[in-house]
């Protein structure tokens, strides 16, 4: 097995007919399956872990080294620059909430409507711009907003949309933002599994992503970016690790410096090591080849869907805009949740239905769809998503099964 092979991809499931088929996981955008590199990192640490940054025994020492090596690897994966910091969090939601609390007081947060809720809800003083119809419109809307906004501001933007898979013009947006002295935060939860993410190349000041979408298990994510705001902010979680000294009286204390300040409590070594192991494997992988494979699957899916007229792909920037392996479908006249259930039960295929924690965007996509029989906006969409280890056979099975379910 190689480091980026998916473990458990021979999982079987029994259909009502009694037939046993290989389970086809097409829900990577929710949680991707585990890569061998992550499994190996966990297996190596299980027999020897101890508490990170606590204790002098060999277990604790080994764990502390492994944790800090994981941090270094993530720093390299994210293209961290001098003055940047890597903080391990629980996931992207946690990372963005942490950063939201560390913004200098009075900062306006500029964002586009249609973000995942994790990048929509945490921000103080949000200035929500209408979801743009094109990437150019996004840049123009940002420019107009920046000319208007009073006082300090940041821009937070997705790297790739979790509903449409559309890759956002982060670089172009960052150029405009930086011209106004405004920092840029990138929610890379869906970008990092599919594209190299380098702070410098994206023009980002902060990046957040999750291990469980990056072929590692649950429980670890990261925030990478400029240290100054993070060092100046109150710790995200108050407790051990975040505090340097605590006196006898309330308020008699000093906070830790560096990443420890925001990593209160005992660190998640296994999560960090698993996440970093995948980062390390991706750093030396042929990303172009992985990208080509994913784009071939995407083209095949779209080709196949031409024969399923009841399913209509939705997008904000149009079908030709670059995207990662995520496709969402409006199913006029059908309940996407029921279709997803039947795909699972009758065909052994895992997809997701609903609004994908992006209610404003899904409402907007549904309302711009021909609404003759799309039902109410609340009905949602059906989403298929894929990545490492996904096969043409799975794509073909999905298309055939979807056509069959929609027929009767
Ligand atoms: N942003 C985007 C674009 C996402 O797709 C997700 C997960 N669906 C998140 C943020 C939140 O990630 P997590 O649930 O791992 O915190």
Question: For residue 401, what is the domain's CATH number?
Answer: 3.90.1150.10
Centre of ligand 1 from the C-alpha of residue 14, in Å? 30
Residues 100 and 172 in one domain: yes
Residues 78 and 147 in one domain: yes
- The answer to whether residue 4 sits within a structural domain is no
Q: Which of ligand 1's atoms lies nearest the C-alpha of 159?
A: 3
Candidate of 114, 213, 271 to mutate for ligand 1, largest count of ligand atoms within 8 Å of Cβ: 213
Q: Span 244-264, mean pLDDT? A: 95
Whether the per-residue pLDDT at 347 is higher than 90: the answer is: yes
Whether the per-residue pLDDT at 187 is higher than 50: the answer is: yes
Residues 264 and 360 in one domain: no
Q: Span 248-272, mean pLDDT? A: 95
What's the pLDDT band for 254 if we cut at 50, 70, 90? Answer: very high
Structure tokens at 154: 């940041």
Q: Which of ligand 1's atoms lies nearest the C-alpha of 212?
A: 15
Q: What is the pTM of this model?
A: 0.96
164 lines ligand 1 (CB under 6 A): no
Residues 181 and 269 in one domain: yes
DSSP output for 349-383:
EE-EEE-TT-HHHHHHHHHHS-TTSS--GGG-EEE
Predicted local distance difference test score (pLDDT) of residue 372: 40
Q: Span 331-341, mean pLDDT? A: 96
Residues 121-160: pLDDT tens digits? 999 999 999 999 999 999 999 999 999 999 999 999 999 9
189 lines ligand 1 (CB under 6 A): yes
Centre of ligand 1 from the C-alpha of residue 116, in Å? 7
Residues 173 and 260 in one domain: yes
- The answer to whether residue 128 sits within a structural domain is yes
Residues 143 and 187 in one domain: yes
Q: How far is CA 198 from CA 176, 191, 356, in A?
A: 18, 11, 26
Domain final position from 253, 283, 313: 283
Residues 206-236: pLDDT tens digits? 999 999 999 999 999 999 999 999 999 999 9
Catalytic residues: 357
Residues 58 and 188 in one domain: yes
Q: Span 10-30, mean pLDDT? A: 96
- The answer to whether residue 112 sits within a structural domain is yes
Residues 161 and 264 in one domain: yes
Range of 386's domain? 12-30+286-407
Centre of ligand 1 from the C-alpha of residue 59, in Å? 33
Residues 247 and 137 in one domain: yes
- The answer to whether residue 2 sits within a structural domain is no
Domain final position from 261, 283, 305: 283
Q: Span 259-267, mean pLDDT? A: 96
Structure tokens at 10: 């021979």
Residues 122 and 255 in one domain: yes
93 lines ligand 1 (CB under 6 A): yes
Residues 274 and 391 in one domain: no
CATH number at residue 262: 3.40.640.10
310 lines ligand 1 (CB under 6 A): no
Q: Which of ligand 1's atoms lies nearest the C-alpha of 221?
A: 15
Predicted local distance difference test score (pLDDT) of residue 376: 45
Contacts with 350 (C-beta within 8 Å, 6 or more apart), sequence order? 23, 24, 25, 26, 27, 343, 344
Q: How many separate domains does the chain show?
A: 2
Residues 110 and 152 in one domain: yes
Domain final position from 283, 314, 343: 283
């Amino acid at each position: 097995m190689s480091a980026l092979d998916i473990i458990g991809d021979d999982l079987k499931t029994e259909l009502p007919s009694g037939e046993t088929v290989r389970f086809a996981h097409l829900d990577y955008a929710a949680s991707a399956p585990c890569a061998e590199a992550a499994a190996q990192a966990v297996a190596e640490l299980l027999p020897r872990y101890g508490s990170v940054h606590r204790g002098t025994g060999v277990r604790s020492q080994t764990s502390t080294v492994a944790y800090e090596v994981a941090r270094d690897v993530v720093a390299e994966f994210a293209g961290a620059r001098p003055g940047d910091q890597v903080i391990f969090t629980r996931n992207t939601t946690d990372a963005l909430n942490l950063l939201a609390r560390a913004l200098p007081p009075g900062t306006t947060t500029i964002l586009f409507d249609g973000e995942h809720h994790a990048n929509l809800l945490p921000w103080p003083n949000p200035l929500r711009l209408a979801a743009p119809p094109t990437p150019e419109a996004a840049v123009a809307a940002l420019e107009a907003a920046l000319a208007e906004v009073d006082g300090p501001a940041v821009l937070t933007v997705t790297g790739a949309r979790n509903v449409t898979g559309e890759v956002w013009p982060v670089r172009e947006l960052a150029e405009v933002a930086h011209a106004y002295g405004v920092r840029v935060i990138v929610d890379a939860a869906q970008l990092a599994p599919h594209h190299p993410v380098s702070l410098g190349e994206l023009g980002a000041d902060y990046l957040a992503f999750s291990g469980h979408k990056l072929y590692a298990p649950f429980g670890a994510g990261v925030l990478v970016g400029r240290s100054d705001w993070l060092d100046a902010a109150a710790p995200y979680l108050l407790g051990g690790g975040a505090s340097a000294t605590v006196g006898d009286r309330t308020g008699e204390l000093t906070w830790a410096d560096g990443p420890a300040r925001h990593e209160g409590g005992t660190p998640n070594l296994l999560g960090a090591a698993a996440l970093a192991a995948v980062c390390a494997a991706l750093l030396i992988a042929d990303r172009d080849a992985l990208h080509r494979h994913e784009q071939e699957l995407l083209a095949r899916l779209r080709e196949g869907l031409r024969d399923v007229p009841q399913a209509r792909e939705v997008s904000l920037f149009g079908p030709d805009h670059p995207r990662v392996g995520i496709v969402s479908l409006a199913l006029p006249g059908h309940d996407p949740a029921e279709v997803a259930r039947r795909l699972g039960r009758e065909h052994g295929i895992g997809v997701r239905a609903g609004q994908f924690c992006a209610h404003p965007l899904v409402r907007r996509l549904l309302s711009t769809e021909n609404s003759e029989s799309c039902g109410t906006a609340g009905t949602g969409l059906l989403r298929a998503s894929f990545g490492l280890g996904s096969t043409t056979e799975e794509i073909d099975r999905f298309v055939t099964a979807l056509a069959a379910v929609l027929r009767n």
